[in-house]
Chains A and B, each alone.
Chain A
Amino acid sequence: MNGLLTVGTLHSTAYDGMSYTRGGTVDRADVGALVQSAADGDAAAWKSLVDGLGPLVWSVARSHGLSDADAHEVYQTAWFRFAQHLGRIREPEKTGSWLASTARHECLKLLRASKRWTPTDDPQLLDRPSEDRTPEESVLDSEEAAAQTERVRLLWQEFEELGERCRQLLRVLISSPPPSYQEVSAALGIAVGSIGPMRQRCLRRLRARLEARGTK
């Protein structure tokens, strides 16, 4: 993957060429068609769905402040359940919202469970270092990318120090490819209409933090 740190290059192949608009109509016709193909037995279509919507599901798990092991389980549960319901999904074009909402409900359940229960998570899953270097990580290894790396780390650090609500909203908004506001709404249980104003407030708060640190 070249041009890594330029806008738009991280979009998965399944979504290339799709136009995204914010807070309005997002063309999800392709998702509906992929779901239909997958239901008919097309494994490649399934894979495209995993690549296109997996980051959204992951962002939902991550935005709820779960342990790594719990986040893994939420992600798995959402996909297992989707596989199970494949062919019975009533509105295939809304699969992103279906997955986001399923993941959210599992997150809330795990949060409830962890309050009464000391986690005895599978130690294998806890803090397991990733076996594979992603292309992105490999890029970070190179010398030329050092300055960029520093900038990315700093940005992430300031992001993580935002208040919980901003962190949660932004974590879902920045999944790749960008989710529709309907999907964000399903992921976080907030009204579509409040996403735009919250997004603006949170991004400006983050920018103020970065400026305070002397980075733009």
Chain B
Amino acid sequence: MSDLNDEYGERDAPDERDAELYDGLLEEELRQAAAILDPVPAELRRTAVDAFALRDLDARVAELTFDSLVDGIPVRGEADPPRMLTFQSDGVTVDVEVTAEGLIGQLLPPGPAGIEVLSGPRAHARLTADDMGRFTGEAPPAGPFALRLRTGREVVVTEWLRA
């Protein structure tokens, strides 16, 4: 190592080390402050603990493959367009349209099904898809929801999301 480097080493390195130490202390102090002033609300933590009941080993998950909020083309002049959602699992497609008035859905391939509208660990409402796979219901509740569909052959649950 040259004299120059030694000189720098003596002069700057301890300062930088101190600064990094201060960074770490300040970050830790902020962490304590966040835990005090902005913790996970207790009722939310309970909801997450209770969500263990939502693991549904028999059901297949139909993943969200289209969401008009993300994939849609904005429609000019329409202030509050309906939310169009498509969920897919192997062989089953669920199209859902959500507006303030209610929920309209189409199950493909068409066929009858019992449908539960889930709002957290509890079922919020029960609907029925007719022989053509069509179903209607009230608008889903505030907060995240999912549909649990029981066709003749299988159970499919749509991915959780907020309407």
- A residues with CB within 8 A of B: 4-5, 7-8, 10, 38-39, 43, 46-47, 50-51, 54-55, 58-59, 62, 72-73, 75-77, 79-88, 106, 109-110, 112-113, 116-117, 121-122, 125, 130-132, 134, 136-137, 139-140, 152-153, 155-156, 159, 170-171, 173-176, 178, 199-200, 203-204, 206-207
Contact = CB atoms under 8 A, between A and B. Distances in A.
Contact of B120 (A38, A59, A80): A80
Interface stretch (B4-12, B30-38, B108-116, B124-132): B30-38
A73 B38 CA distance: 16
B23 A203 contact: yes
Given A72-B41, A106-B162, A204 B19 contact: yes
Q: Give 6 nearest A-B pairs by CB, closest first.
A: A83-B54, A80-B160, A132-B42, A79-B48, A122-B142, A174-B31
A84 B54 contact: yes
A80 to B, nearest CB: 4
A76 B120 contact: yes
B55 to A, nearest CB: 5
14 contacts: A8-B28, A50-B45, A54-B45, A58-B38, A59-B34, A72-B143, A73-B143, A76-B47, A76-B143, A79-B48, A84-B56, A130-B41, A130-B43, A134-B39
Majority secondary structure, B binding face = helix
A178 B40 contact: no
A80 B142 contact: no
B49 interface: yes
A112 B34 CA distance: 27
Contact of B51 (A80, A131, A170): A80
Interface residues of B, number: 51
Contact of A176 (B19, B34, B146): B34
Given A73-B162, A112-B70, A155 B29 contact: yes
B92 interface: no
Contacts of A85: 61
Contact of B42 (A77, A106, A130): A130
B80 interface: yes
B36 A140 contact: yes
Nearest to A133: B42
A174 B30 contact: yes
Contact of A110 (B23, B28, B159, B162): B162
Contact of A84 (B31, B36, B55): B55
Interface in B110-158: 120, 142-144, 146, 157
Contacts of A7: 28
